[in-house]
Structure 1
Amino acid sequence: MSVVPIPAVPISVVIAHHSGYGHTARQAAAVAAGVDSVPGVRADTRDVTTLDAGLWAALDSAEAVIFGSPTYMGSTSAVFQQFAEASAPVWAERGWQGKLAAGFTNSAGVNGNKDNALLSMAVLAAQHGMNWIPLGLLPGWIYTSSGGPEDLNRMGGFVGAMAQSSSDLSAEQAPSESDLRTAHHLGQRVARTALQFALGREAAARLAVTA
């Protein structure tokens, strides 16, 4: 079995997210743990509530960006949308062109139109010329009669990782363990893909030099 080389400098995956009550922040932490589980890749978790130079610098140097937002009224939060609109100067200069992107969201409802929030993130990534990475899991729970709420991807999403947090539960109690494992899977999937992209780019550069 071939051994994947580990880069001398860790590849950065930024988790750019907003969390209104802490539930989505807990989901973001699970995504970050998934990223950090891949040798040679490190997670850089950023709260987009603060649009400072550090945020934009981290995004500029990242190999991949995983967007995260609660789903409010069927869409991303106003804070996340403010961040998306503030990225317009980066868009104009194609600053994120070719980067990898993915997304996650959380809402109190089992459905809550979470897909709409994830699709708005995918459109944001597409406008920036980024490459979207879907969740890559089959639906869990009620997809088959033998499924249960402990299944990975119990929300049955495809575009990104979904989670559900009942409105009367604290961030210490929700999202559920299965939703957090699904978020971990997304982070790990993006990290592995980022590693493949980075190593492939390096190999292509070496071939170009020797050609």
Structure 2
Amino acid sequence: MPNIVVVYHSGYGHTQRMAQAVAEGAGAQLIAIDANGNLPEGGWDQLDAADAIIMGSPTYMGGVSWQFKKFADASSKPWFVQRWKDKVFAGFTNSATMDGDKLSTLHYLFTLAMQHGGIWVGTGMLPSNSKAAQRNDVNYLGSSVGATATTPSDASAQEMLPGDLETARRFGQRVAEATARWAR
């Protein structure tokens, strides 16, 4: 079984809940970036040892949170020695509106992974885009680059839609399957 880590920042609990669903699907360990943008003790070692790194951040103002950005900037240390080269990478995000410029966040995560010399895994899911589609269907938001979710700004993390969380779980499963093939 591949060693997969989900590293994420969550401001209000929604991205954390999504991270938990991704980790469940991937059989991954969770590393939370704290409110000051720091990893817990041993977090960098866990990332160095991982076969795959799945990154998650809420989308704030069209990009990752400043806490995630601090982590990304600090990842220049492993970048400088190419420590994460050829690892599998993937990403996910949540915002309060249907679009919310989530694709900008996913592109940021993708670019970070490519700078590290990584291998990117998208969702591999068809969108739920027929007239019969319901908001709670898997991949209703139709993202291919990474998993996305929408949670209204006045909704708690417990009110996240099961379809978005199932999308996240299946996404984690896909990353685990791709990592198992890549890490052979």
Q: TM-score, normalised by structure 1?
A: 0.83
- What is the alpha-carbon root mean square deviation over aligned residues? 1.0
Corresponding residue for residue 3 of structure 2: 12
Corresponding residue for residue 22 of structure 2: 31
Corresponding residue for residue 44 of structure 2: 56
Post-superposition shift, 1:51?
2.7
CA distance in 1, matches of 2:4, 2:122: 16
- The yes-or-no answer on 1:116 pairing with 2:115 is no
Deviations 1:105-131 (A, max 9, x none): 000011000000000000000000000
Structure 1 residue ranges without an equivalent (≥5) = 1-9, 37-42, 200-211
Q: Which amino acid aligns with 2:24?
A: A
Helix, strand or coil for the counterpart of 1:148? coil
Q: Which among 179, 183, 186 is matched to residue 171 of structure 2?
A: 186
- The yes-or-no answer on 1:21 pairing with 2:12 is yes
Corresponding residue for residue 152 of structure 1: 138
Post-superposition shift, 1:84?
0.2
Post-superposition shift, 1:172?
1.2
Number of aligned positions between the proteins? 181
Post-superposition shift, 1:198?
2.1
Whether the 8 Å CA contact 1:48–1:55 is kept in 2: the answer is no
Corresponding residue for residue 74 of structure 2: 86
CA distance in 2, matches of 1:54, 1:196: 27
- The yes-or-no answer on 1:127 pairing with 2:118 is no
Deviations 1:48-79 (A, max 9, x none): 22335511100000000000000000101000
Post-superposition shift, 1:95?
0.6
Corresponding residue for residue 164 of structure 1: 150
C-alpha change, 1:97 and 1:78, in structure 2 (3 Å) is same
CA distance in 2, matches of 1:52, 1:112: 29
Deviations 1:136-190 (A, max 9, x none): 11111xx21121112111111110000011111111112x100000000110001
Stretch deviating more after TM superposition (98-107 or 43-52): 43-52
Structure showing greater Rg: 1
Q: Which amino acid aligns with 1:149?
A: R
Identity %: 44
